[in-house]
Structure 1
């Protein structure tokens, strides 16, 4: 009898835990329209003294980007740190509600690097950065939003409501962070690897299933 009660209690606890997790997850793309993308929308930026295929590959639907901390910037007159990033072309925006979706992967050892950003702001270069430090995902370098992201695929949804000046970050369907916007006249999405403070010598991220969506 006692064992039956214990088993029943465990089942109830598991059900409650599952319902709690389920209640925190959702489909962030509901109510949005997915916009058409082709290869012309994916502008690759890589160290200017390298060939593209030395820092970028696109195979079996996976876009792999890597960079070293002693690499050059993406053009000779730039004073920025090394990067290999995709800049989404054709969907720059200045108003409305926009969304980036993609599945990201960060291999062990990659640290001190931006893997996704909303470019454009007032007084700053970007409105949002998702960074990786020692296996955790950060909003800029200020806030840990997800622990232990190394060596697994995770779904990223970033919603930017320009008019309300708000951003919502979802990981694997769960809302993990809300942030204020930073103004700016024009914005666009980027992903890849862009060295920040305390960057590791080698930095890499992989992306698949990239979408741009808009609330119509």
Structure 2
């Protein structure tokens, strides 16, 4: 009996290892969605208005690297917002239906108080969703904790916005981590990069992105 019990435990342990390494148990948030082709023209880059783009953004080997400093200027001379270097997805604004952003992100250690992805636009307020990194943890704005320990690693981010259903869902590495009511239909679009929060930001902020995709139902 003892040998049989040991064998049973060993089999279960090996099965768990296989499941973990193969990703079984995670889901594919894009099932049922149709990918919308993206070209370079769909990426509108925003950066501090007084510096050349190449001093805040580079694109090498399929990786978009965005960085900004806390004392940088905003993206336009008339703006009163915090500094940013971001890519706005243009040509795919939406106000109804179900839309999804997908991308692999990397946030280096030290970046804090920075929005790395967002849904811009809302019936009430300027944004539907801000995903910020504080000390390696991702939060919904500066409130709900979504995921911990994200520094110095690539992670897959999926954001689903069901406008008609009035909800936003966040997946990290294929696992649902957060869901919230949205803020009403409007002219909506996705953005990613780095955008300083109103307070408690690090002097240097950076995020990197690859394999950015947009889906819809």
Q: TM-score range by the shorter chain?
A: over 0.9
Is 1:199 the counterpart of 2:201? The answer is yes
Alignment-derived partner of residue 43 in structure 2: 42
Give 5+ residue unaligned stretches, structure 1: none
Alignment-derived partner of residue 26 in structure 1: 27
Runs of 4+ in 1 over 6 A off after TM superposition: none
Name the CA shift for 1:129/1:17 in 2 (closer, same or farther; >3 Å): farther
Alignment-derived partner of residue 72 in structure 1: 73
Is 1:82 the counterpart of 2:83? The answer is yes
How far residue 17 of structure 1 moved from its aligned partner, in angstroms, is 7.7
Alignment-derived partner of residue 53 in structure 1: 54
Number of residue pairs matched by the alignment: 214
The answer to which of 94-103 and 120-129 deviates more is: 120-129
Aligned 8 A contact 2:159 2:171 in 1: yes
Name the CA shift for 1:173/1:50 in 2 (closer, same or farther; >3 Å): same
Q: What whole-Å deviation, never above 9, does each CA across 1:15-36 have from its counterpart, x for those lacking one?
A: 358659733x111111111111
Distance 2:69 2:7 in 1: 53
Alignment-derived partner of residue 212 in structure 2: 210
Is 1:135 the counterpart of 2:136? The answer is yes
Distance 1:110 1:3 in 2: 52
Alignment-derived partner of residue 5 in structure 1: 5
Alignment-derived partner of residue 122 in structure 2: 121
Q: What whole-Å deviation, never above 9, does each CA across 1:27-78 have from its counterpart, x for those lacking one?
A: 1111111111111100000000100000000110000000000000000010
Q: What whole-Å deviation, never above 9, does each CA across 1:141-190 have from its counterpart, x for those lacking one?
A: 11111110101110011000001111111111111111100013210000
Alignment partner of 1:160: what SS?
strand
Alignment partner of 1:22: what SS?
coil
Distance 2:98 2:33 in 1: 9
Distance 1:36 1:134 in 2: 34
How far residue 125 of structure 1 moved from its aligned partner, in angstroms, is 1.1
TM-score, normalising length: structure 1:
0.93
Alignment-derived partner of residue 172 in structure 1: 173
Name the CA shift for 1:138/1:10 in 2 (closer, same or farther; >3 Å): farther
Give 5+ residue unaligned stretches, structure 2: none
How far residue 138 of structure 1 moved from its aligned partner, in angstroms, is 1.1
How far residue 140 of structure 1 moved from its aligned partner, in angstroms, is 1.3
TM-score, normalising length: structure 2:
0.93
Name the CA shift for 1:201/1:188 in 2 (closer, same or farther; >3 Å): same
